[in-house]
Amino acid sequence: MKINSIYIFKNNINLYYQSYSKYLPVISFAGGFLWDSFTLTRVDRMSDNLILLGYILLLGLAIILINVCENKITSKLFVIKYQNWYPLLAQFFFGGLFSSYVVFYFQSAALTKNWLFLVGLIILLFANEFLEKRLKNMYLQLTLYFLVVFSFLIFFLPVLLRVMNTFIFLLSGFLSLAISAGSVYLFSKKIVILNKIQSVRIGAIIITLYLLINIFYFLNWIPPVPLAMKFSGIYHLVQRVEDDYRLQYEKPPWYKFWKKSDDPFHYAAGDTVYCFAAVFAPVHLNKKIYHEWQQYDSRTGDWKAVDKNGYQVVGGRKGGYRGFTYKKNITPGKWRVDVQTPEGLIIGRINFTVEPVDSLKRELIHYWY
């Protein structure tokens, strides 16, 4: 009776798979995204990073199982029996990883500078929905695996080592290359699926992707994770009052009730323009950041740096470490302040226009942060 029940149960599972297999990619994609949304909270939380690390390890196992079954390397029944599920598992883990990367990198992005990298992640996130059959292609498997490992180490190593700089980024790349080289070695020497030519081709693809990501980094096209801008604005006055900051700005019209900063900034003689920014950094990661004040030159069409002031960010505060810089004797026109790292990575950009007025009389209100 017990054996009969087990047989019926297994038979029902197979029937379920055959009946709903065309919907499983969508279910797998949605499941990975929803699970990730509920379980991941912040980039420096070790439990969240361990979840992502678990995804990466299980994804690697799924890739091995896919290729072992596809190439008939094993005759073990318990491995072969579930071979139709392995691509779905890989798809689930790819979906979970890419969705978390979209969230984390988006939080750190200055869209005017980092949009191309973000668009790439979003395309991979949605393309993953249709990759079930393609995921049996080893070239695609190992290329995407390199990408998810590299993207993870870019923010995990700064959290783990409490240091963020160019060396840590390069270390992330070298470790990712080493893991990929180990994967190619496993499939070519141990499991013997890849021949020499295939190994060289996969290696060339991965190295090309590695160089492309490095170009993106040195062009400042990759968001500076794990740093993230939580709040920013331009103000007439910024004051620290005990544990809070009092931000003064001109009262907006009633139909712009959402405004909490000055843009345009109505400037009269004697005014000082303040730039306030709250930057999130992981616990125990201390990093100097800079406010680079730039003015638009309408004659040349270029932005010219006018001032650059910095301060130390202390990590751990959920709402971001708060700081400000200011500028006196500002001239009318288009301005922006780039909040950036010493390496030039842009954490955020605040655009505003300075418009001259004759009188200092105006109604100022304040916002606490």
pLDDT in tens, 193-236: 777 888 889 999 999 999 999 999 999 899 999 999 999 999 99
Secondary structure E strands in the chain: 228-235, 237-241, 244-250, 265-267, 272-280, 286-297, 302-314, 321-328, 333-340, 346-356, 364-368
Q: Which domains does the chain have, with CATH numbers?
A: 2-218 (no CATH), 228-368 (2.60.40.1930)
Over the chain, what is the mean pLDDT? 85
Amino acid letter, residue 121: L
Q: Are 209 and 147 in contact (CB under 8 A)?
A: yes
- Predicted confidence at residue 72, as pLDDT, reads 75
- Predicted confidence at residue 11, as pLDDT, reads 58
- Predicted confidence at residue 175, as pLDDT, reads 98
Other C-beta atoms within 10 Å of 136: how many? 17
Task: Pick the more confident residue, 129 or 301.
Answer: 301
**pLDDT confidence bin for 68, thresholds 50/70/90:** confident
Mean pLDDT of 178-197: 83
DSSP tag of 62: H
**pLDDT confidence bin for 131, thresholds 50/70/90:** low
- Predicted confidence at residue 362, as pLDDT, reads 81
Tell me the pTM: 0.84
In DSSP terms, 229 is beta-bridged to 279
- Predicted confidence at residue 190, as pLDDT, reads 72
Mean pLDDT of 163-189: 93
Task: Pick the more confident residue, 295 or 192.
Answer: 295
List the strands of the sheet with 228-235, edge to edge: 228-235, 272-280, 321-328
Mean pLDDT of 174-196: 86
- Predicted confidence at residue 135, as pLDDT, reads 63
